[in-house]
Amino acid sequence: MAHENGSEQLPKEIEERVRILVARSAWKGERIVSIARLVFCAAVFARTLVVVGGQRDDYASVRIVATAAAVLPAMALSVWFFKQRGRTIAPWLWVSVALDAVFCVFALSTNALWGAKDYAGILTIPDVDALLLITVAAGFRHSAWLSLFGGGLNALSFCGLLALDRALIAERITYSPASVVMFGILLAGFVTIAVATAHRSRTLATQSAWESLQLERAHGRLSMILDRSHDSRSLLSAASLRSGLLLRALRRDDSTLDREDPAAIQQARQLHDDLKALEHSVRGVREQSFTELLALREPAVVDVEEAIERALPKLRERFTGLRIEHKCARSRSLRAIVAGGQTGIERIVHNAVANSAEGDGERGASYVVIVTSERERVVMMVIEDDGPGFDEAHLASEPTSVPSKTDGSGIGLAVIRDLVAASDARITLENNAGGGARVIIAWQRS
């Protein structure tokens, strides 16, 4: 497949998505490096003040001024990089990598230029490991070329530091050629790690771009299917209505068909039942598809009370004989993490109220109350009604997917269950002691 092989040409749409993903990740990596650079610069300057400030030689003030001249611009650029907030800084990443190398070689070179008399060479102090650290940091920009660029600069810096030692303190050098070779091997290994990390991050970004594109296309196709299913459901409803009228006509005493063909009533009844079952099935597929679309969305922070209030006008318009109230136990808003966002809350409330209104198919509720509250950083929503309640046998066997009607399949409540599960929340179904059903949902508070 194209996204598994970096050498193959990627489609422009995928390439653009990869560029955006890598740029965002590189920006986050650059923020981390900027913070580390700020801390490192401050530590170097503080160390210089402490160490050099106590020395009484001609180079003390020069070393402090030189260190400040290198540290302050590096800190200023680090702050600038940190404040970019995701803007296009790709060209500046090269500057950032070069800045790390320049500042690091300056900080290390001061040991040979103005170091203590017991200084015995660059490989005799732990400071030299900074070259390895900034080599790995170059990989945080998620670019193999930047990693190689940073590794090359650090290799040149190391060679320059060795040459500086030879030129200034040749008689005091204590490290051996084997130590130089070993550090060179370590530096090459860290460059390899940085390049491999950058390459792997781009591979993962490519795979993520492919998957997100496929998901968007599937979302679009499913939405189109749902639009068509709405038309199909309307036709089925009309056919079901006509079959009901036909069955009523056949049952009349003056029906000619009734006298000529007594089996017509049975056939009409069968047609009516089949159409009702088909309509119910299409409705179930549609409801479940909507649920899957909502569950695909990232869980979002939602004002639960506001979402409930948005859902109530349509419910009151649809169920005119049902009194619906919303009560909140807190004066301030309750915000929870919900799959599908505000639409998810509205779907849950709609299905719960619809189940209350329909009841067991023979008698529905006349009153529904929705109570929201907060308990131990958990947002609670309790929906109660005065209807016939849930079948006790179903509650005992499978409390999360119970039908509210004796001949129902539990689709409405299954939708609620799936959305609650996608939100990593909890749901409880139970009957009130005095009659009626109760649905309790607990979300994590944001």
3-state SS, one letter per residue, for 340-378: CHHHHHHHHHHHHHHHHHHCCCCCCCCEEEEEEEECCCE
pLDDT of residue 187: 92
- pLDDT category of residue 181 using cuts at 50, 70 and 90: very high
- Rounded to the nearest integer, the mean pLDDT of the chain is 77
Higher pLDDT pick, 379 / 244? 379
CATH architecture group of domain 297-446: 2-Layer Sandwich (3.30)
The distance from CA 48 to its chain's CA centroid, rounded to whole angstroms, is 45
Q: Which of 327, 354, 337 is nearest to 408 (CA)?
A: 354
What integer is the mean pLDDT of 255-284?
62
pLDDT of residue 74: 79
Residue pair 62/114 in contact (Cβ under 8 Å)? The answer is yes
Domain coordinates of the chain in residue numbers?
A: 2-216, 297-446
The dihedral formed by the CA atoms of 427, 429, 430 and 431, expressed in degrees to the nearest 10: 130
Check whether 7 has a pLDDT greater than 60: no
Check whether 242 has a pLDDT greater than 70: no
Q: Which of 153, 39, 161 is nearest to 111 (CA)?
A: 161
CA-atom Rg of the chain in angstroms: 36
Rounded Cα distance, 363 and 320, in Å: 15
Check whether 356 has a pLDDT greater than 80: yes
Higher pLDDT pick, 86 / 366? 366
Rounded Cα distance, 420 and 349, in Å: 12
Predicted confidence (pLDDT) per residue in 87-105, tens digit = 556 677 888 888 888 888 8
pLDDT of residue 44: 77
For residue 318, give every residue at least 6 positions away whose Cβ sits within 8 Å of its Cβ, in sequence order, or none: none
Check whether 419 has a pLDDT greater than 70: yes
pLDDT of residue 435: 84
Check whether 200 has a pLDDT greater than 70: yes
Predicted confidence (pLDDT) per residue in 126-164, tens digit = 888 888 988 888 887 778 888 899 999 999 999 999 999
